[in-house]
Amino acid sequence: MVGWCGRVGYDSESAGEVVLIDIDHILERNRGWAERQIRADPDLFRLLAKGQQPEMLWIGCSDSRVSPNLIMDLPPGDVFVHRNVANLVVPSDPSLLSVLQFAVEVLGVRRVVVCGHYGCAGVAAFLKGDPGGPAGDWLDNLHPVMRAYRSDLAGLNGDHLAQRLSELSVVDQVRKVAATAIVRDAWDAGADLEIHGLVYRIDNGRLRPLCRRTAGGALVLDSGRRQ
């Protein structure tokens, strides 16, 4: 079995020291966080309890370093979220489709963001070989991306291959979101819905746009080229 990449128990406040966070510590930090939010905005939780009206659905990786609200500097209630290993859009995945349906048909989000990231352990495990088990079955969904972009990936190795595959996978997942009956029906009904593909650099905390798709238009890469 091919091992997964990444570090377990890293705490940024401990300068790289491995720290195990127990449940009491989590509850203590939660109390402190809630108190700070109330001091900053006494009505925040009262308003959140009335319901949610996010304008964005985020489809991203489960990686613990890529927390959507945190990296976009957005408060609770602004982003509806679906995450999985390697930020894949699988047309037969009922979990993703139910989230997409709820976001588009019930919440009326105006933007769907598919976000990948460099240093993805899922992409690395796929390139090293089948990790086995459910993870291997799931990551098999990257094979069509490799085939579709064979010429773009030719001659790349190591980190360069992993980074480029992460980017191209985002583009492919944006296409898959746009092809769902949920999105097509929304566009046919006149919904003002955009789909954006982004990639996140963990080493500098920055997001970079890769592509976008709107109703009635072709997929446009960040370079401006239409596909």
Give 63-114 as a DSSP string. -TT--HHHHHT--TTSEEEEEETT----TT-HHHHHHHHIIIIII--SEEEE
Choosing from 11, 22, 36, 65, which is the catalytic residue? Answer: 65
63 assigned to active site:
yes
Choosing from 24, 41, 43, 61, which is the catalytic residue? Answer: 61
82 assigned to active site:
no
The answer to whether 159 and 82 are in contact (CB under 8 A) is no
Residue 74: burial class (beta carbons within 10 Å; 0-12, 13-18, 19+): middle
Q: Which of 60, 67, 54, 61 is nearest to 104 (CA)?
A: 54
**CA distance readout (Å), 109 to 64, 67, 119, 162, 211:** 25, 19, 29, 31, 19
Can you say whether residue 9 is alpha, beta or left, with left for phi > 0 and alpha for psi between -120 and 50 degrees? Answer: left
Q: Could you tell me the sign of the dihedral formed by the alpha carbons of 116, 100, 188, 142, in that order?
A: positive
With a CB cutoff of 8 Å and minimum separation 6, the contacts of 76 are: 44, 48, 69
65 assigned to active site:
yes
117 assigned to active site:
yes
CA pair distance 125, 121, nearest whole angstrom: 6
Choosing from 82, 115, 117, 196, which is the catalytic residue? Answer: 117
Choosing from 82, 115, 120, 213, which is the catalytic residue? Answer: 120
115 assigned to active site:
no
Residues marked as catalytic: 61, 63, 65, 117, 120
